[in-house]
Every structure is written in structure tokens, then in C-alpha cells.
Amino acid sequence: MFKSFSTHILQHLIAQNTWACSLLQPFAGKSVRVTIAPVHSTLVILEDGSLAMAGETNIPDASINIAPSLLPRLLAKDEAAKLQIEVTGDTHLATALAKVLSHLHWDYEDDLSKLVGDVPANKIGNFARSSAQSLKNASVNFASMLSEYWQEEKPILAKKRHVDQFNHDVDHLRSDVERFEKRLQKLTKAREASTSDAGATPQHQVTDSVK
Amino acid sequence: MTSEQNTHFGFKTVAETEKAKKVAEVFHSVANKYDLMNDVMSAGLHRSWKRFAVSVSGVNPGDKVLDIAGGSGDLSKLFAKKVGPTGQVILTDINASMLGVGRDRMLDAGLNVPAMQCDAEKLPFPDQYFDCVIVAFGLRNMTHKDKALAEMQRVLKVGGRLLVLEFSKVWQPLSKAYDVYSFKLLPIMGKLLAKDADSYQYLAESIRMHPDQETLKQMMVDAGLSKVDYYNLAAGVVALHKGYKT
């Protein structure tokens, strides 16, 4: 039932995003296992360019592994986080599927319009969008307020400029240490060379007396 | 009579030549109430299983689809919508009574779907003709399943798909309850609704005699299909097998 339901949702989304079909169609019949530990599921690309859940004995052609810690960054559309997604097997296939999955857009207004009509669906859509935006703004404001409090009033968080200064100092110290290490090596070598020169003469003398 | 000439008809052993005749009698008997009984027996789930089969078929507009043992035409109707006016769906069944029901339904729905009475073991179509062949709840009634699968493979184009939707082996913890349902309740429902307990007794028995998921998968591989995979539906009460001709 789960596979049937998920397939229905995937195909509905693909039907709303027709651009995805042409992107996936060249990979028809292939499958990709998507893992976000501990959950995983295998998607198969159908001949019409749509997606379905794979069956019980499917052997995937590619795998996409997403570390759970990457999820919040991916949801926040952090481009650097995308580079940390692990792709194995047919990378062209996995990349195409990852692109489709990350750009799929649910046109909920279109779905709602079939139930309640175009105008109410649009109104509900506008309300949902403005509510989401307000919630996002409120979250950002709350986060800024908290960080300001923890930086200024009860400083348990470091300010950016302090962190930068600290990083700069650490870099500086590291170069100083490296310079010192080089100098020490140079001095040690010089000392070893002079010691070996001084010890060479008595050795020759001993050899001569034996002869 | 040698054992090679015998086959099973439910739990009974009959001569191979007799099986088709006996299956035909069963379906002549239930034809008019076939869908009603299916709805009652599966709580309407057979419709969702068929829809799922169509959704994973990957059929495109303009494709050619063969519906084998299509009977009342549920799948042909769904496929006809999917292939559109440029495609072609052919409804076939070995049983004239079942095919008659399906043909009339297609006509009533205003769909141009040819209905053809034929034996799945000797399909009257050229090699590599169809993009998709489907057999739903029909394979278990066929006398030589291997021959039928080979025929289905023959008429598929390269890249074409064979879908087999059929009762299968239920998830072990549910098997006791499923047995009670199949052998006690099912014949009673058959008697009450279709006035035919024997036919529904055969249905329950034929399900038990049908190969399980892995065996059918291997049979499809042996018939020349590749990348065979299956979906367990309703905890394995039904399985949908899909294989490709390569």
C-alpha cells in the first residue's frame, strides 16, 4: 500500500512538472536508491519519464546517500551542502534524479482548484504563502533576537568579528610555530654537521696507526 | 494416462486437455457477476491493484498494449485512456462470456478497443508488436504457464514490458487468517452473490496452486525477460511482476 501510495504521489508531482519527464526519459528502466539514514527507498524511472517506487527485488543502478545532518542545510537551499551528497554507481542517472527531486514543485493551488474552484484555491494559496512568509520572518527575527541576547546581554556566543580575530591569531601563531620549527631544524643540522667534522680526524689517526 | 498429460485444476488433478474446458465452465458461470464478486472479495482493492499496474507500466500515448485474459475490461479501459487516440489497446480472453462482458463495457464507455477471443498460449499477433503486455488474474488459469509467458515475450517489442498481476503467497503471519477467508468465507460469498460456491472454491484452490513470487519471477526470466522485479500488494495477497524484453 505504501509503495502504491508513494508512486501515486510521485507521478502526480511529475505530471505537474512536465520538464522532469524529458530529463528522466533517457534513463527509463533504471533505478536509484536514495538513503537518508536510517530510511531508504528505491525509485525506478518509467518509460514515460515518470517515477515509481521500485519492487521488492530491484537492484539499483545508482545510489544517493544523504547524511541526516545535511538535511537542514539542504532544506535551507545551502549550495555547499549539495556537494557533500554521496553519489555512487551511474552518476549521470543519480545527478539527473537528484536534480529532478530537488526542483520538483507541488502546485497545490492546482490540486485545490479541482476541489473548491479556482478563486477560493487562489485565495487559500495566497493565505498559505503569506502565512509561510510571516512564519519565516518571525523565525528569523526570533533567531536574531536570541543571538543578540547571547552575544550582548549574556555572552555565551562569540561575535563574528571576535571569531575572525581569533582565527587570524591562530593562523599567525601557526606560521610562527612553523617558522620556528624550520629554524630549529636548520640549526640542528648545522650542529650535527660540525660535530661530525670534528670527530673525523681522530678516526683517521687510529686507522693509520693500525697500518 | 502419463503424469505429463495431467495438470491441476484447483486441488484436483485433471487431464491437460480438460483444464481449459473446466476453467471455461467456471468463468461462463461467474461472468455476469465477476466484477461484483471481485469487489466483495477484495473490498474494492482489485481496482486499486489494477490502477497501480497501469501506473508502473510506463505506457506512453501512442503505445500498443495487449490485455490478456482481460475479461471484464477494467485494465483495457484504463490503458485506452493512457495510450490516447494514437495508441492501440487489444482486449483478449479465451472465454467468450467474459470477453462479451468486456466488449460491451468498452462500447458503453465509447472506447474503440477491439476484443479478440484467443488462447494466450497461441497469440495471433506478430513478433515484437506490443510496447506492453499485461495479464491480470489470468495466468494461474492457464494450462502451460511457461508457454503463455514465452508467447507474451514473443509479441513484445525490444524494451517492451510484461506485467503479471496475480494472486500470490501471502505474508506468513497472515496465512492462517487468509486460509480461513479463502476456504470458508469465499465459497459462502460465492454461493450468496453469484449462486456458485464451486467456482469460488476453485478460485481459492487455484490461488494456492499458483507459483509464489520468486518462482514466477524465475519463470519470467526463463521465458526470456530481464530485469524482472515484483511488488507485493496487500501483504503478498497479490503480486505485480514486471519484466523487460531486451
- Can you tell me the ipTM of this complex? 0.76
* CA–CA dist B98, B111 (Å, integer): 17
Residue B106 corresponds to which cell in the numbers above? Answer: 468498452
* CA–CA dist B9, A204 (Å, integer): 108
Contact (CB, 8 A) for A44 and A54? yes
A207 lies in some domain: no
Inspect the interface and report whether the beta carbons of A55 and B213 lie closer than 8 Å.
Answer: no
A165 lies in some domain: yes
If we measure between CA atoms, which residue out of A46, A48, A42, A37 comes closest to residue A60? A42
Q: Considering only CB atoms, which chain B residues are within 8 Å of A58?
A: 229
Interface check B55 vs A, CB under 8 A: yes
Residues 6+ apart with CB under 8 A from A55: A3, A44, B229, B230, B231, B240, B242
User: What pLDDT shows up at residue B32?
Assistant: 67
**CB crowding B83-103: b at 16 or more within 10 Å, else e:** beeebbbbbbbbbebbbbbbb
Residue spans of beta strands (DSSP E) within B118-246: 130-136, 156-167, 225-233, 238-245
User: What pLDDT shows up at residue B72?
Assistant: 83
Contact (CB, 8 A) for B132 and B82? no
- Which residues are paired to B6 by β-bridges? B15
Residue B54: its H or E element: helix B45-55
Residue A174 corresponds to which cell in the numbers above? Answer: 601557526
Residues in chain A: 211
User: What pLDDT shows up at residue B30?
Assistant: 67
Q: Considering only CB atoms, which chain B residues are within 8 Å of A43?
A: none
Contact (CB, 8 A) for B63 and B83? yes
User: What pLDDT shows up at residue B197?
Assistant: 74
Residue B232 corresponds to which cell in the numbers above? Answer: 507485493
A206 lies in some domain: no
Residue A130 corresponds to which cell in the numbers above? Answer: 503569506
Q: Which residues of B define the annotated binding site for S-adenosyl-L-methionine?
A: 72, 93, 119-120
User: What pLDDT shows up at residue B31?
Assistant: 66
Residue B246: its H or E element: none
**A8: containing domain:** 2-103
CATH label of the domain that carries residue B188: 3.40.50.150
User: What pLDDT shows up at residue B130?
Assistant: 97
* CA–CA dist B54, A1 (Å, integer): 15
- Closest CB from B57, B232, B234 relative to A56: B232
Residue B96 corresponds to which cell in the numbers above? Answer: 467468450
If we measure between CA atoms, which residue out of A92, A89, A46, A45 comes closest to residue A65? A89
Task: For an interface test with A, give the residue of B220, B227, B237, B244 to mutate (most A CBs within 10 A).
Answer: B227
Residue of A nearest to B246 (CA): A29
Inspect the interface and report whether the beta carbons of B56 and A52 lie closer than 8 Å.
Answer: yes
Residue of B nearest to A30 (CA): B227
- Closest CB from A4, A28, A57 relative to B233: A4
Q: Are residues A94 and A127 in the same domain?
A: no
How many separate domains does chain B show?
A: 1
- Closest CB from B59, B161, B231 relative to A3: B231
User: What pLDDT shows up at residue A209?
Assistant: 47
Tens of pLDDT along chain B (246 residues) come to 444 577 777 677 777 777 777 777 777 666 667 777 777 777 788 899 999 999 999 999 999 999 999 988 999 999 999 999 999 999 999 988 889 989 999 999 999 899 999 999 999 999 999 999 999 999 988 989 999 999 999 999 999 999 999 999 999 899 889 888 888 888 788 778 777 777 777 777 888 888 999 999 999 999 999 999 999 999 999 999 999 999
* CA–CA dist B137, B127 (Å, integer): 24
Inspect the interface and report whether the beta carbons of A55 and B230 lie closer than 8 Å.
Answer: yes
Residues 6+ apart with CB under 8 A from A118: none
- Radius of gyration of chain A from its Cα atoms, rounded to whole angstroms: 32
User: What pLDDT shows up at residue A3?
Assistant: 79
A42 φ, ψ (degrees, to nearest 5): -110, 130
**B119: containing domain:** 3-245
User: What pLDDT shows up at residue A73?
Assistant: 83
Strand, coil or helix: A64: strand
A204 lies in some domain: no
Q: Are residues A132 and A87 in the same domain?
A: no
Q: Are residues A164 and A94 in the same domain?
A: no
* CA–CA dist B148, B164 (Å, integer): 12
In sequence order, what DSSP letters do the residues of A42-57 get, joined into one string?
Answer: EEEE-TTS-EEE--TT
Residues 6+ apart with CB under 8 A from A14: A20, A21, A24, A49, A50, A51, A104
Q: Which residue's C-alpha cell is 468463468?
A: B27
A71 lies in some domain: yes
If we measure between CA atoms, which residue out of B238, B10, B55 comes closest to residue B136? B238
Chain B nearest-CA distance from A119, in A, is: 29
Interface check A3 vs B, CB under 8 A: yes
User: What pLDDT shows up at residue B2?
Assistant: 45
CATH label of the domain that carries residue A86: 3.30.1050
Average pLDDT per consecutive 10 residues, chain A (211 residues; last block may be shorter)? 82 87 90 88 91 91 89 80 86 86 85 90 92 92 89 83 93 96 95 82 50 42
Q: Are residues A79 and A119 in the same domain?
A: no
- Closest CB from A46, A50, A55 relative to B229: A55
Q: Which residues of B define the annotated binding site?
A: 72, 93, 119-120
